Amino acid sequence: DTAVSQTPKYLVTQMGNDKSIKCEQNLGHDTMYWYKQDSKKFLKIMFSYNNKELIINETVPNRFSPKSPDKAHLNLHINSLELGDSAVYFCASSQDFSGNTIYFGEGSWLTVV
Amino acid sequence: QQQVKQSPQSLIVQKGGISIINCAYENTAFDYFPWYQQFPGKGPALLIAIRPDVSEKKEGRFTISFNKSAKQFSLHIMDSQPGDSATYFCAASRGGNYQLIWGAGTKLIIKP
């Protein structure tokens, strides 16, 4: 069983479209994250939820909106996609917000054309 | 103060050699220093971590050396193997409700 699973793995879409990436963790963790990894491999945290509550909301365009229906799920919705949104988006989770051992999903490759 | 500076950006090592990746930090409140390993097409995964009460931690061929006074920590990979080729990230946090601060990553290539 995959601990942190996200779908879709690959997504090619046109500028201006709206898309969602879904994430589920079966580890029983309280904290979930969305990270963005650009072409230079730099990892940037976007959001963090702890028990369905937003904890971290980094400087991210408000076109990006996370939704956590329960503590096992954290979805990412992106409105009006732009070329610069092309990146790999990683969902992750940890037992709590202490930062110890973050488990990452395999990533969702988003290409905006 | 919140940054973690990682070097080098990329590293090529011969098989059997020692790979060394360095990180430096400013915030003396940091108390947890993990290293993550990321293979192409995969998410990062925790490799090894250290807390500042020890100066070294070893797990198999992987060792973290920690220098509290210099505010530096490094990852040493002994007897480097082609299967170690990956991107390595150092990170630091101060625990509690504080996020992990990531280094910029080092792409390691081990030549056969």
pLDDT tens-place string over residues A74-88: 999 999 999 999 999
Supply the pLDDT for residue A98: 75
| Residue B55 and residue B67 in contact, taking contact as beta carbons nearer than 8 Å | yes
List CB contacts (< 8 A) between A97 and chain B.
Answer: 96-97
How high is the pLDDT of residue A58? 78
Q: What is the DSSP string of B60-76?
A: TTEEEEEETTTTEEEEE
For residue B36, which residues of chain A lie inside 8 Å, CB to CB?
A: 102
What are B30-80's pLDDT values in tens digits? Answer: 999 999 999 999 999 999 999 999 999 999 999 999 999 999 999 999 999
Q: State how far Cα B26 lies from the chain centre.
A: 16
Residues of A in contact with B96 (CB under 8 A): 97-98
- Which residue's entry shows tokens 């909301």? A57
**Between B50 and A51, the higher pLDDT residue:** B50
User: Does residue B96 have a pLDDT over 90?
Assistant: no
Q: Looking at chain B, which runs of residues are DSSP E strands?
A: 4-7, 10-14, 19-25, 33-38, 45-50, 56-59, 62-67, 72-77, 86-92, 101-102, 106-111
pLDDT above 90 for B14: yes
Greater model confidence, A54 or A5? A5
Is A99 close to B98, i.e. CB distance below 8 A? yes
Residue B1 has pLDDT above 70, yes or no: no
Average pLDDT over residues B1-21: 94
Residues B103-109, mean pLDDT to the nearest whole number: 97
3-class state of residue B37 by DSSP: strand
> Which residue out of A41, A42, A93 would a mutagenesis test of the B interface target, given it has the greatest number of B Cβ atoms within 10 Å?
A41
Which of A32, A43, A50, A97 is the best mutation test for B, with the most CBs of B within 10 A?
Answer: A43
pLDDT above 90 for A72 = yes
Q: How far is CA B97 from CA A25, A98, B12, in A?
A: 21, 6, 37
Rounded to a whole number, what is the distance in Å from the CA of B112 to chain A's nearest CA? 24
